[in-house]
Structure 1
Amino acid sequence: MDVYQGAVAALVPFFVAERAYTYAAASGIVLAASLLSSVAQPLFGAFTDRHPCPWLLPVSTVLGGLGVALSGISGSYALTLLFVALSGIGVAAYHPESARIARVASKGRHSSMGWFSLGGNVGFATAPLLVTAVIATGGLRLSPLLILPALVGSVLTLPVLRALAKTPRADASKGVAEGRDDWRSFIRLSLAVVCRSIAFVGLSTFIAFHVREQTGGGTVAGSAALFVLYLGGAVGTVVGSRLAHRWDRVTVVSTAYLTTAAAVAGVVFVPGPAIYLFVALTSIGLYVPFSLQVTLAQDYLPTRVGTASGITLGLMVSVGGLTSPIIGSIADATSLRTALMPLIVMPVLSWLLFRTLPEPTVPKPLLGEVDEETPPEAESHSAESATENSRL
Structure 2
Amino acid sequence: MTGSKTQTSPSASTATTVYPILFAISIVHLLNDTMQSTVSALFPILKDSMNLTFSQIGLIAFAMNITASLLQPLVGLYADVRPRPYILPLGVCFTLIGIITLSIAPTFAIVLLAVISVGIGSAVFHPESSRVAYLASGGRRGLSQSIFQVGGNIGSSLGPIMTALVFVKIGQFGVIWFTIAALTAIVIQFKVAQWYSKQSLHVAPIKKKTSPSVTHHTGLSRAQVIGTIIVLVFLVFSKHVYMSSITSYYTFFLIETHGVTVQQAQYFLFAFLAAAAVGTFFGGPLSDRFGRKNIIWLSILGTAPFSILMPHVSLYWAAVVSIFAGFILSSAFSIIVVYAQELVPGKIGLISGLFFGVAFGLGGLGSAVMGNIADHTSIAFIMNLSSYLPLLGILAILLPKDKDISA
Q: What amino acid is aligned across from residue 131 of structure 2 in structure 1? A: R
Deviation at 1:168, TM superposition (A): 5.5
| Per-residue deviation, 1:325 | 2.3
Does the CA-based 8 Å contact 2:66-2:360 persist in structure 1?
A: no
Aligned to 2:146: 114
Alpha-carbon contact 2:206-2:346 (below 8 Å) kept: no
Match of 1:179 in 2: 217
Deviation (angstroms), 1:131: 4.7
Specify the alignment match of 1:264 in structure 2.
307
1:88 maps to: 119
Could you tell me which of 167, 174, 178 is aligned with 1:146? 178
Give the direction of change, closer, same or farther, for the CA distance of 1:386–1:90 in structure 2 (3 Å limit). Answer: closer
Per the TM alignment, residue 281 of structure 1 is displaced from its structure 2 partner at its CA by 1.5
* Stretches of structure 1 lacking an aligned partner (at least 5 in a row): 361-381
Name the Cα RMSD after superposition: 2.4
Structure 1 residue 128 and structure 2 residue 128: aligned? no
Q: Distance in 1 between matches of 2:345 and 2:267?
A: 40
Q: Is the CA contact (8 Å cut-off) linking 1:183 and 1:300 kept in structure 2? A: no
CA distance, structure 1, for counterparts of residue 133 and residue 288 of structure 2: 19
Task: Tell me the equivalent position of 2:394.
Answer: 352
8 A contact 2:92–2:182 mirrored in 1: yes
Tell me how far apart the structure 2 counterparts of residues 140 and 168 of structure 1 sit (CA, whole Å): 42
Q: Which runs of 5+ in 2 are unaligned?
A: 1-31, 209-215
Counterpart pick for 1:23 among 54, 61, 79: 54
Q: For residue 93 of structure 2, what is the aligned residue in structure 1?
A: 62
What does 1:1-392 align with in structure 2 at a 5 Å threshold? 1-109=32-140, 110-165=142-197, 167=198, 169-170=200-201, 179=217, 182-349=225-392, 351-360=393-402, 382=403, 385=404
Alpha-carbon distance in 1 for matches of 2:169, 2:206: 47
Q: Decide which moves more: 174-183 or 197-206.
A: 174-183
TM-score (norm 2): 0.83
Aligned mates of 1:133, 1:176 — CA distance in 2:
52
Q: Which amino acid aligns with 2:345?
A: P
- CA-to-aligned-CA distance 1:319-356 (integer Å, 9 cap, x gap): 2211222211222222111122221221111x132122
Percent of aligned pairs with the same amino acid: 27
Asked if structure 1 preserves the Cα contact closer than 8 Å seen for 2:103 and 2:172, the reply is yes
Q: Which amino acid counterpart does residue 238 of structure 1 have in structure 2?
A: F
- C-alpha displacement of 1:249: 1.0
Contact 1:10 1:226 in 2 (8 A): no
Provide the C-alpha distance between the structure 1 equivalents of 2:276 and 2:180, rounded to a whole number of angstroms.
24
CA distance in 2 between partners of 1:277 and 1:332 (Å) = 28
Q: What's the offset of the Cα at 1:302?
A: 0.9
Question: Secondary structure, in 3 states, of the residue corresponding to 1:273?
Answer: helix
2:124 counterpart letter in structure 1: A
Deviates most, 90-99 or 248-257: 248-257
